[in-house]
Structure formats: structure tokens, C-alpha cells
Amino acid sequence: MKSIRDIYKIGKGPSSSHTMGPVKAAAIFRSETPEADAYRVFLYGSLAKTGKGHGTDRAVTDTLAPVPTEVVFSQEAQENLPHPNTLDFVALREGEEIARQRFYSIGGGDLTVEGRPQPQKAEETYPENSFAEIKEFCNFRYVSLVDYVEMNEGREIWDYLAEVWETMQKSIREGLAASGELPGGLRINRKAKSIYDHILVNKHPEIVECQMVCSYAYAVSEQNADNGTVVTAPTCGACGVLPAVLYYIKNKRGLSDEDVIHALGVAGLFGELAKCNASVSGAECGCQAEIGVACAMAAAALGYLFGYSIKMIEYAAEVALEHHLGLTCDPICGLVQIPCIERNAVAAMRAINSANLAYFLSDTRRISYDMVLRTMYETGIHLNRGYRETSEGGLARIYSRRSGEPAS
């Protein structure tokens, strides 16, 4: 299992797989073909279906600029592709092809490169590859999950997570201060500021909690939709869940930044396990792999901050992910706005409920986090293609029929 740095990446929205990954691929290809006087980029699968809405073409051409670049949205059948986020780069010189390379954007801003060995073994940080193994290690040696993270990552991981936490807080503050319409043509107005400004602290406490948590989740998700700087947790599309929950609980309980940073370390374990043993890609496994994993990470972080045992923390994460199984990825017009922004808020509230449920039911559990991860992956790969970030099914299809607009 890789470092939890792999799950927390700071970058521009709106999509880790559709913008961050392709930007990285473009930068690699440009550095390897400096003699090119033009580029042609072919987008396949989910990148072709929702690349316009996610800004993939703009991200790639900006990275390859000032060299002129043509972006082709291929209609090749997805069944023929090794990964639903596939893209080919072609370098041209005086109209002749001089180089070609295929990349796969596998989620969370990461890439694999066709025909090249992947240095996964060299990058492994954790010898354990399941939560069952992690739990056994910690229980046998009487160490906490925070101790376990530091033993494998080194103390410098906390400095990195301090930067992650500061970025998360900044995205909340900036999102709460912003207003106006989000780009893309759906005419969606930002809502975070309005929700936050209308909190009535003398009303029912459960309503106040909901307004606060949801305003924070909206703030980050709207920043992401507006190409702002966010942290993948585990992806851009699900970036609002974890910071919303942590920001709320820190202020409510008067916790220190160090407490929250340690909670980020615990959450990162559950996110990295999902990436290692299942998927965090909406194009591969639907939104259960994005929002579901984000909710599990947030529930685990809360469990740590509540002083739960390792068993209870695992149960909180398992409950959170289990009840997102089968969640589809059907962004309207390919934009990370509907249902994505609201879905972050709902998942943040569900993370709190999952952590609370774990407090009094963990002794009754029958399903492990490893089991629900395996189920999530199997469910995802059997989802109809239209429900895996193609804008060909679900809300995206219904909306396109109603409006008469193309789905992507």
C-alpha cells in the first residue's frame, strides 16, 4: 500500500481523473517530445463522454501551450479499452507523427503509462495491504492507528498533512465568501454562503448542525466546480466531505489542529486501502468509489477524534461505505455540479451518523471494511456503463431528454 500522500493531492478542480491526471500526462509527454511543433490528443471512454464538461480539453491544451493542440473526442466503444479514462498523445513535426504514447487516468490524479513498468513495488509504504492486517499489527503491538501511520510514513507526514489541512480550511473560507453563478451553462448559483448566512443558532440544534456541515461541504465543492484549488479526498468530485466534517467537529469541540491532522492520517489509511484494493474512480466504479470512500474516510476520522477503539473506527468506516454501495455517477452535462455538490453535503451528514452508530453497535457487526471494499469494487465493475461517469444514464440522461440538450 502506498503513502497516504497518494490519496491527498492539492490541485485544481473540477476532476482529479479528468483534469489533474490528463494535465500530468500532458506534462510528461511534452517533456519527452520537445521537438514537436503540434500535438493531437485522443480522449476515449469517460474522458470522451464528459471531457467537455470537466474541462479535459482545456486542461490539456493549456498544459501543451504554446504548441498548437487538437483534441479529439473519440467514439470508440468503451468495451475495447483497458481503462475507461484512456487518452493517447501524438506528437507531430511538420505534419508527420514522431511519437505516440497512451496513458490511463486511474483516479485521484494518478496515471499509468502503457508499455512502461509501474514502480509500485518501490513506492510501497505500508507492508500491510488490508485493514485486517493493519488491525492485527496494531493490536499485537499495542499501537494506535496514528502511531502506525507515523511508523511507516515518518514524522514528516504530519507536516504534509498540515499543508493539506490548511488548504482544506482555505477552500472552506473562500467558498463561504463567494457568490454568483458557477461556470458551465447549467445556471447553478453558489449556495454555501446563503446556507451559512442563514444559520439561526437559537433554532433546533440538529438543524444548525446540518446547516453548518452542509455549508462547509457546499463551499469546498463549489470551489472545485469553479476550478479552484482543493484537496483530493479521495478525489476532486468528493473533496467536500472530509473537510466539512473535520472543520465542523474541530470548532464544535475546540480541537487543536494537531488533533485534526492526526485524524487526516487515520482517514488516509481507509482511503488508500480503497485505492489499493478497489477503486476511487467514478469512471471505473461509479460514485460509490468517490463519495462512498470519502464518507468512509470522514467517519473513520470522526471515530478517531471521538476516542474510539480501532474496531469501532473500522465499523464507522464500513457503515459509511456500505450504505453507498451501487451509487451511480451521472453528472448532468458532464459538470461536477448536479448531483455532485449536494451529494458531498449529504455524505458529510451520513459520515457523522455512521460514526455515531458505531458507538453503540460495533459489537454487533458482521461485515468488515475489507469485505465492503471488495463488494464495492465488484458492484462497480458490473454497473451499466451509463452509470459510471459517462453522462449517458441516470439524472444526466433524464435531464438531457427534458431539456433537449446533449448529455455531455
Residue 287 grid coordinates: 460514485
25-55 tens-digit pLDDT: 999 999 999 999 999 999 998 899 888 888 8
- Identify the weakest region by mean pLDDT among 91-105, 353-367, 385-399: 385-399
E strand or H helix that includes residue 195: helix 192-197
157-190 tens-digit pLDDT: 999 999 999 999 999 999 999 999 999 889 999 9
What mean pLDDT is predicted for residues 119-134? 81
- E strands along 94-203, which residues? 96-107, 110-113
The pLDDT score that the predictor gives to residue 307 is: 97
The pLDDT score that the predictor gives to residue 78 is: 65
The pLDDT score that the predictor gives to residue 401 is: 65
Alpha helix segments (H runs only) across 362-405: 369-382, 394-403
- Residue 149: helix, strand or coil by DSSP? helix
Residue 17: which of 106, 83, 89 has the closest Cα? Answer: 106
Distance from CA of residue 240 to its chain's centroid?
9
140-149, long-range: CB < 8 A, 24+ apart: 144/310, 145/265, 145/266, 145/269, 145/304, 145/310, 145/313, 146/262, 146/265, 146/266, 146/304, 148/269, 149/4, 149/265, 149/266, 149/268, 149/269
Q: Is the per-residue pLDDT at 104 higher than 50?
A: yes
CA-to-CA distance for 30 and 73, rounded, in angstroms?
Answer: 20
What mean pLDDT is predicted for residues 119-136? 83
The pLDDT score that the predictor gives to residue 365 is: 79
Q: Residues of the chain with pLDDT > 70: what percent?
A: 96
Q: How confident is the model at residue 120 (pLDDT cuts 50, 70, 90)?
A: very low
DSSP 225: H
325-343 tens-digit pLDDT: 999 998 898 889 999 999 9
What mean pLDDT is predicted for residues 208-222? 97
138-164 tens-digit pLDDT: 999 999 999 999 999 999 999 999 999
Q: Is the per-residue pLDDT at 224 higher than 50?
A: yes
The pLDDT score that the predictor gives to residue 55 is: 85
Q: Is the per-residue pLDDT at 196 higher than 60?
A: yes
